[in-house]
């Protein structure tokens, strides 16, 4: 399993053996790397994803996650998930290793999103995607619950928002009743 230079194209290739999910040994080749380091890094990440070792980068686990999702979810649902993950989650967690993400990292990420002024319901939608990713990792691949056991969510913010909405809707209702002359206050 070492990288070699392809004499025809001038790029690097790597031949490797791995065990698939059925326990069969397979031999494969991946071509087209610009550097030897790229080829060896790709192989290392591929072997980590095959063994489901959570020493892999979050972005590599996302590839596994979407491969699982594409077979089970409708196309538009997968596209919606990819949109949220690519724009709101991967820029922050993409280069971190799965087993190095801490509740403090998640809280910091949430604070950044809150600071951007998104609506609380949109924040909850984004957070639900991260929750789904970690639940997938725990349920199917055996990630320990240490990262996600402290249910970090935006509920206090959402409760505050729902009170504001109720207050505004009551004010609107009162204004409509006053306009019709039906208000008894």
- Where are the chain's structural domains? 1-51, 53-153, 155-185
Instruction: Report pTM.
Output: 0.59
Predicted confidence (pLDDT) at residue 43 exceeds the cutoff of 60: yes
Half-sphere exposure of 154 (CA within 13 A, CB side): 27
- Paired residues of 17 in beta bridges: 27
pLDDT in tens, 107-140: 888 889 989 988 888 988 998 899 888 888 887 7
CATH topology of domain 53-153: DNA polymerase; domain 1 (1.10.150)
Q: Comparing C-alpha atoms, which of 109, 124, 106, 110 is closest to residue 160?
A: 124
């Amino acid at each position: 399993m070492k990288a070699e230079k392809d004499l025809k194209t001038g790029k690097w290739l790597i031949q490797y053996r791995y065990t698939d999910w059925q326990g069969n040994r397979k031999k494969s080749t991946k071509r087209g790397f610009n550097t030897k380091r790229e080829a060896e890094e790709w192989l290392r990440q591929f072997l980590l994803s095959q063994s489901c070792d959570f020493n892999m980068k979050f972005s590599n686990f996302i590839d596994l996650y979407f491969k699982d999702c594409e077979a089970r979810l409708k196309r538009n649902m997968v596209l919606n998930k990819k949109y949220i993950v690519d724009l709101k989650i991967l820029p922050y967690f993409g280069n971190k290793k799965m087993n190095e993400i801490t509740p403090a990292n998640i809280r910091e990420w949430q604070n950044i999103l809150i600071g951007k002024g998104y609506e609380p319901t949109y924040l909850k939608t984004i957070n639900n995607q991260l929750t789904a990713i970690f639940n997938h990792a725990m349920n199917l691949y055996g990630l320990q619950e240490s990262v996600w056991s402290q249910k970090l969510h935006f509920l206090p913010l959402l409760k505050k928002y729902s009170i504001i909405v109720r207050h505004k809707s009551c004010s609107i209702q009162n204004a409509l009743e006053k306009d019709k002359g039906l208000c008894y206050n």
